[in-house]
Chains A and B, each alone.
Chain A
Amino acid sequence: MWLLPFVIVSTAVLLSVPVGRYLAWLMDGTYKPPALFRWFERRLDTGPQSWKQYAVSLLLFNIVMFGFGYLVLALQPMLPLNQRDAAFADGKGMLSPTTIFNTVTSFLTNTNLQHYSGEQHLSYFSQLVFVLWNMFTSAAVGFCVIAAIIRGLRGDAHMGNFYLDLWRVVVYVFVPFSVATGILLIAAGMPMTLEPSAEISTVQVASMGANDDGSAKPQVIARGPVAAILPIKHLGTNGGGFFGANSAHPFENPNAWTNVLECVSILNFPFSLVVMFGRMLKQPRHAAVIYTVMMSMFVAMIVWAVMNDTAQPNPALTAHPGYTVKVAGQPDKVIPALGGLPVDQDGLGNLEGKELRFGPSAGATFSAVTTAVTCGSVNCMHDSLNPLAGITPLVGMQLNCVFGGKGVGMVNMLVYLITGVFLAGLMVGRTPEYLGKKVEAREMKLAMLALLIHPFLILAPTGLFAALDWGKTATNNPGAHGFSEILYEFSSASANNGSGFEGLADTQGFNDPKKNLSIPAPYAAHWDIATGLVMLFGRFVPIIAPLALAGSLARKKRVPFTSGTLRTDTVTFGCVLLGTVLLIGALLFLPALALGPVADHLGPTPFGR
């Protein structure tokens, strides 16, 4: 049970040191590129940029990518590589405009929230040109930002060049790592083909039903260039699945070894970036403190999820005593205890919603891994995690700094760092300083902006949708569990995670309703637009505010280090940082969590209408 998480985390930790060093070496520009690349880099490098120029280039690039993405998806029916199979005889049609907006935003912001199902709604062209391209570039953007911020923090005259950084990350980091991982995945049996779905005649009548003559209907098995997308889906902490079932699908996660490989590749860069942070700043001890703080939260999250999902007897059953609720003017409502039900999951843990090939421990571990670092890929149904175990993914996304997405997680941690330094700095009786730079009003303003936006983007729309029919009718489960579904969706969107609690009716599907295999959800357009906007703000505000913060710190004179300076490389500071993250996180999200998973756990089940 504990071997799997241990193997995953320790492998990722071991890898992070050399990879982090490589990244620092690369981003510092000390490498010598091959002649062809050098020629190309010279064309690409528009010169050193200030934080403003860097931010403008970043936004400009994203605007172009948005237009490009929208175009590719909108023109899907007209573009090549639109596979035809039994279900879609004339290929995939055009998605509804709100879904296109949501999907383009989702992939642009490295969220990969999917209000569609890959095998149903996207052509191979869309998968390869839109999805794959965005997975490389959007992941690289976060990476560039942290590199630029580090340059600012160490007081460089400029913050580097966005285009050059982007090139370095994609070409020297993502491409080689993806190719290597892809080969391993193909070897494990992952499909890599442009052939349309296979039709198989089964001997036994299965879920496809039977023909009139009693023979089994042919089974349509979706496939495609899965192995092209899968490596970067995890390495870039993107998480958008080729199939709707994501990494629970046998073609996306063929066996136990690929499950470990996928988890490690999710964690690889978020871990390494902390090492890179330390190396580029020449503050290895400070980075080690941050690494330890993040790691302690991460391990606690995994342990919490695995413990609650594998506990015996299953707390989801035993935690609910019988209740008698008195209702004025009506007979007492008796809610029976659940523990007495003849369900025996002894020795197994909570198997509901788990991919049986992997089991509960692997599902819980994967859920912690994927939400801590904002990947969003899933190998089990998060909706089916025990209510308390479900806190782990929620907290991972709400804190958004337990390693966090590549670059972005580190940037979020920086905001907590600045806040912690500010409070602790005051308490030692000096104007707070971070890395030898004084933290004053402007820095605090930017840090607070970045800190505020995330809870605002989660809580405000969650409240809105929970109070209105938009949310109430969209939830699959009644009661507190339904509330968790709404809370999860917006947490995932704001954290740019992209995983879903699922069970939420948010799929519109094709623009032409007749082409849909299932009826579009009534409020899907509302969900598309709301989550789309949340993703946009949740991405760019927390990127640009810290960039400005680093730019502002870069211009400051360095204060000499004295014995009175608040040290940022000690155990004490680690405790301060951990305390800051946990305290602020708890203050922000505790009431929402109490109404969601906690009420779900403590309250009665089943909650039928």
Chain B
Amino acid sequence: MSTLLNPHTARAEEPKSSRKLSRRTGLFAPALLKAALGQAFAMLRPDRMWKNPVMFVVEIGTILSIIYTVYKVIDPTSTQASLGYLITLDIWLFLTVLFANFAEALAEARGKAQADALRKTRQDTPSYRVRNGGTDFDSALRTPNSALEQIGSTELKEGDLVVVDAGQTIPGDGEIVAGVASVDESAITGESAPVVREAGGDRSGVTGGTRVLSDRIVIRITSSAGKSFLDRMIALVEGASRQRTPNEIALSLVLSAFTLIFLIVVAALWPMAAHAEAYMGDYLGAKDLKSLGTDIPTLVALLVCLIPTTIGALLAAIGIAGMDRALRANLIAKSGKAVEVAGDVDTLLLDKTGTITMGNRKATRFIPLGDVPAVEVGHLAALSSASDLTPEGKSIVELYRGMPGTTSTQIPTGSRFVEFTAQTRMSGIDLPDGRIIRKGASDSVSKHVLAHGGTLPPQLKVHVDAVASQGATPLLVAEGNRIVGVVVLEDILKPGIKERFERLRKMGIRTVMVTGDNPLTAKSIAEQAGVDDYIAEATPEAKLAYIRQEQQGGRLVAMMGDGTNDAPALAQADLGVAMNSGTQAAKEAGNMVDLDSDPTKLIEVVEIGKQLLMTRGALTTFSIANDLAKYFAIVPALFAGTLPWLKRLDFMHLGSPTSRSSRQ
């Protein structure tokens, strides 16, 4: 029961840090706006505009309209539209292009600002490298700094061993091979509370740029300078490595097609209007009868208001905003695609602890066996737990104190504590009066009692099984060679988790609980929490097999993990979210890193992914659907000069610019 030092369960219960990565710069900071505005002008270059076909068409139209305006100044009879009308048109068209650029530039500028903040932590720091490497890590830990080789962090290569002292900055991504230290990771996570990192196990990974607060550790560098996690993070938030996602490509294809469609419609309008001018002019005997239908700047304006500029202008910005939303949730997506895939996930693999249940189990009941009253069982359990600082141990003491008729839990002097070990799976206390009190897993306590010549009470099995089948964990309490009772440890479901799963189910997402518990307990908790399936006594292999099996059926699977042994499953999953507290291997394998190491993030990721797609879909539909209304206002206006009776189509009576040459 080593939950004391488990940073991720401990962290999950802390209030979320307010100093998140993305909040370092406000969206409308003047510096950002200025940079974005400059960038918006720079992006007017045709070779850059070309990448956004919709806005490129607007730009061409603007140029065309400006040319006609100039022409109007030179030759006032060139078009029947007034100069003021043409200039207003130019301004509007230009502002449309500029705004699109500005939206994208602002999103990018924001990323850049974040990247700069991160970059500051990536200065070249001196580090102490162990000469000749070697495998004797413990002796390296004891080597004084003077005996080490001093080297700049940028010169470090993969495989180098470095020693980091308290107060020093960790020079690069790596794994602790010796020692334990508390590390300030606020540069990356924005979280001010230090975390413990130690050699071996799942918390051995350290990130370059973070600072060691206490103790001394030996680190094996796992990525050379320029390729570290921090470097990649900088590249990502900067948008440098932003690639368009498949969905974005498909959508921009659709938008281009709609642009082309409207181009055809508007271009064909010119000769059609010319035809109307010809026959009406013929009929009325007016040779130079003109309508706005053959006025190029007006047709350009019509085209621009029809093509899906709303979404076209914002497509890139939405993509960046998606990454940003993830970032604000303290998630680093390794690509925009990862965020999008999240929206498509069919199956979520969720760890029981921390996601579905509160991090810790709590004692909820004492069941007496034989003639000992429940209070006495509680007393013995509390005594045996007095030195147990795990949350389970504390909860036993708390439960006992809350019972009526309790006596002091003060431990008599001269008592000897027996620590919990993985081998004995028991803990307890040897009192000075010779009483031996033990509590622990049912099979180990049973063995202990039998070994001391005791017998098992006949109703023991019934009680133990009953507790287990309710999803709780039974702990046996023994005094000497007698089993006195059972402590019931129960998992406490997180509030609102059942509703959350219900919502996920409505979205079509299957939730799978992953737990190390036995199948009986797992089943019961799964039922209480309302998950669709569970993997009990889960091993990394079992997880991997489950993911493969789901994928065989065409489902997309998301999971979260931290340990090195989770790495294959994280890599296999379509969306693997690694916890920042996890090992380097896990972070490498996943396609997102959760800086908060909060297991419930997986659910948030899915929601962000869905919102990203919904925003695009809604904007596109809106953009196209409201075009219909525009027709009813614009078409009559275009033909006011030739076919005045079309005015009846404008049933919304929108004030539309009428041609000054209208002969009515």
Contact = CB atoms under 8 A, between A and B. Distances in A.
Given A431-B613, A479-B279, A609-B283, A467 B274 contact: yes
B614 A429 contact: yes
Interface string B343-368: 11010000000000000000000000
Interface stretch (A71-79, A103-111, A177-185, A562-570): A562-570
Interface string A431-456: 10000100111011100110110011
A564 B275 contact: no
Interface string B620-656: 1100110110010001000100011110110000000
B646 A326 contact: no
A562 B285 contact: no
A588 B262 CA distance: 7
Contacts of B506: 563-564
A587 interface: yes
Given A333-B284, A587-B265, A440 B247 contact: yes
B278 A462 contact: no
Given A562-B346, A590-B631, A463 B284 contact: no
A330 B613 contact: no
Given A425-B617, A598-B649, A609-B283, A448 B253 contact: yes
B260 A452 contact: yes
Interface string B542-556: 000000000001110
B609 interface: yes
B650 to A, nearest CB: 11
Contacts of B620: 423, 426
Contacts of B147: none
B663 A583 contact: no
Contact of A459 (B265, B609, B616, B624): B265
B77 to A, nearest CB: 15
A326 B272 CA distance: 23
A467 B275 contact: yes
Contacts of A430: 343-344, 508, 610, 613
A422 interface: yes
A565 B556 CA distance: 13
B42 to A, nearest CB: 29
A443 B249 CA distance: 11
Contact of A463 (B272, B282, B616, B639): B272
B555 A560 contact: yes
Nearest to B270: A463
Nearest to B636: A594
Contacts of B663: 325-328
B151 interface: no
A558 interface: yes
A557 B618 CA distance: 27
Contacts of B617: 423-429
A455 B276 CA distance: 20
A595 B272 contact: yes
A288 interface: no
Interface string B516-528: 0000000000000
Nearest to A456: B264
B418 interface: no
Given A327-B284, A427-B621, A463 B268 contact: yes
B613 A426 contact: yes
Nearest to A325: B284
Interface in B598-617: 609-611, 613-614, 616-617
Contacts of B280: 479
A429 B627 contact: no
Contacts of A244: none
A205 interface: no
Nearest to B341: A431
A466 interface: yes
Nearest to B306: A587
Nearest to A433: B344
Interface residues of A, number: 69
B250 A441 contact: yes
Contacts of A431: 246-247, 340, 343-344, 613
Given A463-B270, A483-B275, A583-B628, A422 B254 contact: yes
Contact of A452 (B257, B554, B645): B257
Q: From DSSP, what is the main secondary structure of chain A's interface residues? A: helix
Contacts of B262: 587
B50 to A, nearest CB: 18
B621 A445 contact: no
B135 interface: no
B554 A583 contact: no
A2 interface: no
B267 interface: yes
Nearest to A487: B272
A323 interface: yes
B193 interface: no
B474 to A, nearest CB: 38
A323 B250 contact: no
Given A557-B554, A564-B508, A599 B646 contact: yes
A76 to B, nearest CB: 37
B271 A463 contact: yes
A480 B642 CA distance: 11
A444 B254 contact: yes
A466 B272 contact: yes
Contact of A460 (B264, B553, B555): B264
Contacts of A424: 617
B274 A466 contact: yes
Given A464-B271, A466-B271, A587-B261, A439 B664 contact: no
Nearest to B269: A591
Interface string B457-470: 00000000000000
A607 B419 CA distance: 106
B265 A595 contact: no
Contacts of B438: none
A419 interface: yes
Contacts of B649: 594, 598
A376 interface: no
B393 to A, nearest CB: 43
B635 to A, nearest CB: 5
B352 to A, nearest CB: 23
Interface string B397-441: 000000000000000000000000000000000000000000000
Nearest to A564: B508
A483 B631 contact: no
Contacts of A592: 268, 272
B286 interface: yes
B575 interface: no
B304 to A, nearest CB: 15
A602 interface: yes
A472 interface: yes
A241 interface: no
Given A328-B286, A419-B254, A456-B264, A466 B553 contact: no
A423 to B, nearest CB: 5
Given A325-B663, A587-B265, A594-B635, A482 B279 contact: yes
A562 to B, nearest CB: 3
A431 B635 CA distance: 36
A419 B648 CA distance: 32
Given A427-B614, A441-B246, A599 B645 contact: yes
Interface of A: 323, 325-328, 330, 333, 419, 422-431, 436, 439-441, 443-445, 448-449, 451-452, 455-456, 459-460, 462-464, 466-467, 471-472, 478-480, 482-483, 557-560, 562-565, 583, 586-588, 590-592, 594-595, 598-599, 602-604, 607, 609
12 contacts: A326-B663, A424-B617, A440-B249, A448-B253, A448-B254, A452-B264, A558-B554, A583-B628, A587-B627, A590-B631, A602-B646, A609-B283
Given A426-B614, A459-B265, A564-B506, 10 more contacts: A325-B663, A330-B286, A431-B344, A460-B268, A466-B272, A478-B283, A479-B279, A479-B283, A558-B554, A587-B628
Kindly list the 7 A-B residue pairs having the minimum CB-CB distance in the complex, ordered from nearest: A564-B508, A426-B617, A429-B610, A467-B271, A562-B508, A448-B257, A463-B271
